[in-house]
Amino acid sequence: MPNEVKVKVMKAAAPRERTLREKAYIPEIARGLRITAAHFWGNLFIHIKRLFGIRTKERGSVTYQYPEERRPLSPRVRTLHRLVKREDGSPRCVACMMCETICPAKCIYIIGADHPDPNIEKHPLQFDIDLGVCVFCGLCVEACPEDAIRMDTGILEFSAYSREGMIYHMKDLLR
Q: Which residues bind ligand SF4 (CB under 6 A)?
A: 93-99, 103-105, 107-108, 110, 129, 134-140, 143-144, 146, 148-149
Q: Which is nearer to ligand SF4, 28 or 128 (CB)?
A: 128
How far apart are CB 66 and ligand SF4 at their closest, in Å? 24
How far apart are CB 109 and ligand SF4 at their closest, in Å? 10
CA dihedral (147, 149, 155, 156) positive or negative = negative
How far apart are CB 155 and ligand SF4 at their closest, in Å? 14
Q: Which is nearer to ligand SF4, 2 or 75 (CB)?
A: 75
Q: 168 has which bridge partners?
A: 129
SS (H, E, C) the chain: CCCCCCCCCCCCCCCCCCCHHHHCCHHHHHHHHHHHHHHHHHHHHHHHHHHCCCCCCCCCCCCCCCCCCCCCCCCCCCCCCEECECCCCCECCCCCCHHHHHCCCCCEEEEEEECCCCCCCEEEEEEEEECCCCCCCCHHHHHCCCCCEECCCCCCCCCCCCCHHHEECHHHHEC
How far apart are CB 161 and ligand SF4 at their closest, in Å? 21
How far apart are CB 157 and ligand SF4 at their closest, in Å? 17
Q: Which is nearer to ligand SF4, 58 or 142 (CB)?
A: 142
Q: Which is nearer to ligand SF4, 46 or 133 (CB)?
A: 133
Q: Which is nearer to ligand SF4, 22 or 142 (CB)?
A: 142
